[in-house]
Amino acid sequence: AALPEAWVTPNETVLIHAGASGFGTAAIQLVRLSRAIQVVTAGKINYKKEDFSEKVLQFTEGKGADVILDCVGGSFWEKNICSLAIDGRWVLYGMLGGKTADGDLLGKLLRKRGHLLCSLLRSRRLQYKAELVQSFTEQVLPHFQSTDPPLQPVIDSMFNMEDVEMAHQASLCKIVYDL
C-alpha cells in the first residue's frame, strides 16, 4: 500500500529503509519500474557511526529524497527529516524503531513543506485491497515476464520444513520452504 500512496514519478529520488527485507527488495524493483532513483538503507550499516541522511544529501547534491518509504519510524525521524527534500513525501508504514518522536518533528516537517503519509494495509477496506490487487495484476505482474525492466522475487535461501526455526533466524529476504 505504501508505494501507490507515494505517487512516485520518473527521476524522483526515493529513500527505501530496510532494503534487504521482503518489502524493501520489492520496493527497490517497483521504484526502478517507476523509472525513479532508489537510495537504500539496510541492516549492515552501522547507524551509530554512519549517518544515512548525510549520504542521502551527498547523493542528491543537497536536495534530499523526494519520497521516503519508512518502516522504522521513531528512531529515524530526525534523519528522515534531514533526508527529505522540500515538498517531499514521507510514507510511514511501520514502527520497527519505536512509536515515539521527541523534539520538533512537526516544526521541521512544516519548514520543509513535507507530507507525512501513514499507511497500513491491514486496516484498509476490502474494496481498497481488491483495487490494489487489480492494479498490481494489470500494471506489475506483466513485468515478471518482461525484460524492460525485469522483476524477480528475491529468495535468500531454501530450507526443508524441519529447519523452519533456523530459516527465520538467518533470513534476510524471502524464504522458500521445500515441502
User: Which residues of the chain fall short of a pLDDT of 70?
Assistant: 1-6, 43-49, 147, 149, 156, 168-179
pLDDT for the residue 34: 86
The yes/no answer on whether domain 2-153 falls in CATH 2.60.40.10 is no
* 6: Cα within 13 Å, side-chain hemisphere: 28
- Bridge partners of 165, per DSSP, are none
pLDDT for the residue 162: 82
Instruction: State the cell numbers at 139.
Output: 500494471
The residue extents of the domains of the chain are: 2-153
pLDDT for the residue 5: 59
Residues 33-68: tens digit of each pLDDT? 889 999 998 865 555 567 899 999 999 999 999 999
pLDDT for the residue 167: 72
Tell me the residue type at 72. V
pLDDT for the residue 56: 94
